[in-house]
Structure 1
Amino acid sequence: MGNTVISNIRWVGRYIKNHMFQGATILIYHRVAELPSDWQLMSVTPQHFGEHLDVLRKKFYPMSLQQLHRAAQKGKIPKGAVAVTFDDGYADNLYNAKPLLEKYDVPASFYVTCGCLDQEQEFWWDDLDRMLLQPQSLPQTLTLTVEGIEHSWKVDVPSNPSPSTEIVPPKFSKIQEEGKLGRKELYRSLHSLLRPLPEEKRRPLLDEIAKWSGSNRKGRVTHASLTTNELEQLGKGGLVEIGAHTVTHPVLSSLSLSEQRDEILQSKEGLEEKLNRPILSFAYPYGERSDYSVQTPELVKQLGFSYACSNYSGIVRRGVDPFQLPRVSTRDWNGEEFSRRISTWFPV
């Protein structure tokens, strides 16, 4: 009797391990590039990205997001399944990421903000970085009117700091006690104000900040978004899926459903026109649960997408909402650290 009970327990344990907890991980990247500074931790160097892909190819089961979606719907996710995704649409996705994906034969989905194609300006968060965090002198006071409310900041920055100079005092120091902000604190404050704004309201504020800081709005080559021609090149070959990421990268929950519909549908139709193929996949800008409304996933489904990615951590299992697929953020880890971390993300 005792041996039978033990045998049954072991069988149940194996079943749970092999079936009930089987799941997959979707990785989210943004950039593959060597940058002098990356305060938002959006970039992975080409060397480290290659090491990540080597780990995936040797230890896990890389598959396309479309394959993973179908496997999850059937409840037949392969052990160690991983999908790679990229958000936003930086030009280095073509020049640095795609060659490495081809080298290691790892498929990936790229979610492109179609309104930023062919633009000389940077993504707005990079624009803000360039104007505030680079080594040029800044005036001591900035005043902006945002949504009818006047905001004023006193700025304490070194005059023409060198690129190696630490441009923000550690934590909350005497400077902040005196009501002044370092550059990174100023960036954080402005970022939080600009993030929920629609593009037509954010753009003139960025123009004001550019004038105040003595910067122009022309973007850096190192932070360029894709051109239409580069998008076409990126989409060639069987390893790459192109997905939609709205037109202007808004916080969707700050928009009405009608405005959300326009952003989502126009991004789908715009990419389909440029690539002459169906666009079946979508990723929510920013992607936390608060960044889109309760109705948004159903709207995405109604507009003809097959699945959509969020940006909060979780495991893809059978029964997961295909229009709220969780993803895990990556950082510029070397291969050993990446291997250690990804191993902790799997349920088995």
Structure 2
Amino acid sequence: MSGSRAAAAAITRRVRRWRPRGGILMYHCICAEACDPWAICIAPEHFDDQMAVLAEARAAVPLADFADEDGYTWDGSRVAVTFDDGYVDNLLVALPILEKYDIPATIFVVGNAVDRGREFWWDALQRAILGPTTLPEVLDVPFGTGPRTFTSTDGWGAVAENAGWRADAEDPRNRRQQLFRTLWDAIVVLGPDEQDGAVDHLLEWAGEPEIGVGSRLPVTGEQFAELARHPLITLGGHTRDHVSLTDMTLPDRHAQIDAGNRSVSELADAPVTQFAFPFGRFDVPTRNLLRDSDVTVGCTSVSTPAISSDDRHALPRLHATDMDGDAFGRWLRRDHGLLGSRA
């Protein structure tokens, strides 16, 4: 970022801190992982710490409060908890902690993932590329823009180097990480069936099973129903197939949003009024599709507190990461002016 753009961004952050505001937290998995390139995993003990901070501050409110003025205060005292994708640990690990502190949460569920019984493609890719101790020297890639071959005769890099690496914030440290980023960028724009075929090809190349030990899986239908019945949980839409909406035609975007919301609504026997953009990717035409639906709150992945003047169909969310309660409290108060902090 250039100096002028950085200065403009800093001014924008300061201005926003003087507006009525609130925090919408974005979570994914509640599990401990040494290798977590997108920082989507939070150890259960740290998630417990973080919910304890919200409970002590009496900050937790339903996401629905951010559809009107209730979620926004001059001291940033209100915070909503959300989860993306619908991982099984949201039920088995996160929900007991939410119950412990009586904290409501919205879970944005991928419609076609329920009862699918296999990993999301990005988790399978991570397991194939960043997990094995050794990888074959040559990889032929038949998917994406055309056949390609990747070769590394002196190794792809040690698995130990992957611990702590952030693919969204750091340059790759070795060939293995570079390969991971290159393949991720190629697969994210493919259709759902092509994505499955791509990761199946990579798992076979890496000598990994289709479903590995400890694989992060989405909920089953029975587990989804248990979440739907719970008074602390609201279920929202996350498209039918967790696609990159901005890489699709407008009719296909509409179909993905509508079919995903209908699937969640039918399974939960309740209307879907909350939505999160997959990968945080959105633009004005995609946002307008939400405005023409029954959705009252749309969430992005722009990591900043929400303010009262923000578009309710493109609200920012703070990406919560793996940190203990003290660090979490400082992050919310000092960095973002939340939990009753004056600007």
* TM-score normalised per structure 2: 0.84
- Preserved contact between residue 61 and residue 78 of structure 1 (Cα < 8 Å): no
User: Does residue 61 in structure 1 map to residue 40 in structure 2?
Assistant: no
- Preserved contact between residue 19 and residue 74 of structure 2 (Cα < 8 Å): no
Change (3 A) 1:94 1:167: closer
| 3-state DSSP of counterpart to 2:226 | helix
**1:140 aligned residue (134, 137, 142):** 137
Identity of aligned residues (%): 27
Give the letter aligned to residue 191 of structure 1.
Answer: W
Q: Where in structure 2 are the equivalents of 1:14-29 lying within 5 Å?
A: 21-29=19-27
Change (3 A) 1:104 1:148: closer
Return the alpha-carbon distance in structure 1 between the equivalents of residues 153 and 20 of structure 2: 52
Cα deviation, residue 222, structure 1: 4.0
| Counterpart for residue 252 of structure 2 | 259
Q: Where in structure 2 are the equivalents of 1:204-283 lying within 5 Å?
A: 204-283=197-276
| Counterpart for residue 306 of structure 1 | 296
| 3-state DSSP of counterpart to 1:305 | coil
**1:194 aligned residue (187, 192, 215):** 187
User: Does residue 182 in structure 1 map to residue 187 in structure 2?
Assistant: no
Cα deviation, residue 238, structure 1: 2.2
Change (3 A) 1:293 1:157: farther
| 3-state DSSP of counterpart to 2:21 | coil
- Preserved contact between residue 115 and residue 218 of structure 2 (Cα < 8 Å): yes
- Preserved contact between residue 19 and residue 308 of structure 2 (Cα < 8 Å): no
Give the letter aligned to residue 326 of structure 2.
Answer: E
| Counterpart for residue 345 of structure 1 | 336
* TM-score normalised per structure 1: 0.83
Give the letter aligned to residue 299 of structure 1.
Answer: L
Q: Does 260-269 or 61-70 show the bigger shift?
A: 61-70
User: Does residue 113 in structure 1 map to residue 110 in structure 2?
Assistant: yes
Q: Does 190-199 or 92-101 show the bigger shift?
A: 190-199
Cα deviation, residue 153, structure 1: 1.1
Cα deviation, residue 40, structure 1: 2.5
- Preserved contact between residue 122 and residue 219 of structure 1 (Cα < 8 Å): no
| 3-state DSSP of counterpart to 1:295 | helix
Give the letter aligned to residue 298 of structure 1.
Answer: N
| Counterpart for residue 331 of structure 1 | 321
| 3-state DSSP of counterpart to 1:43 | coil
Change (3 A) 1:329 1:157: farther
Cα deviation, residue 275, structure 1: 1.1
User: Does residue 149 in structure 1 map to residue 142 in structure 2?
Assistant: no
- Preserved contact between residue 72 and residue 317 of structure 1 (Cα < 8 Å): no
- Preserved contact between residue 120 and residue 219 of structure 1 (Cα < 8 Å): no
Bigger-Rg structure (1/2):
1
Return the alpha-carbon distance in structure 1 between the equivalents of residues 319 and 154 of structure 2: 32
- Preserved contact between residue 141 and residue 148 of structure 2 (Cα < 8 Å): yes
Q: Where in structure 2 are the equivalents of 1:35-114 lying within 5 Å?
A: 35-59=33-57, 61-71=59-69, 79-114=76-111
Change (3 A) 1:95 1:77: farther
Return the alpha-carbon distance in structure 2 between the equivalents of residues 78 and 20 of structure 1: 9
Return the alpha-carbon distance in structure 1 between the equivalents of residues 58 and 319 of structure 2: 17
Runs of at least 5 residues in structure 2 that lack an aligned partner in the other structure:
1-14, 166-172
Matched positions, count = 316
Cα deviation, residue 142, structure 1: 0.9
- Preserved contact between residue 247 and residue 263 of structure 1 (Cα < 8 Å): yes
| 3-state DSSP of counterpart to 2:308 | coil
| Counterpart for residue 307 of structure 2 | 317
Give the letter aligned to residue 288 of structure 2.
Answer: E
Q: How well do the aligned residues superpose, as a CA RMSD in angstroms?
A: 2.7
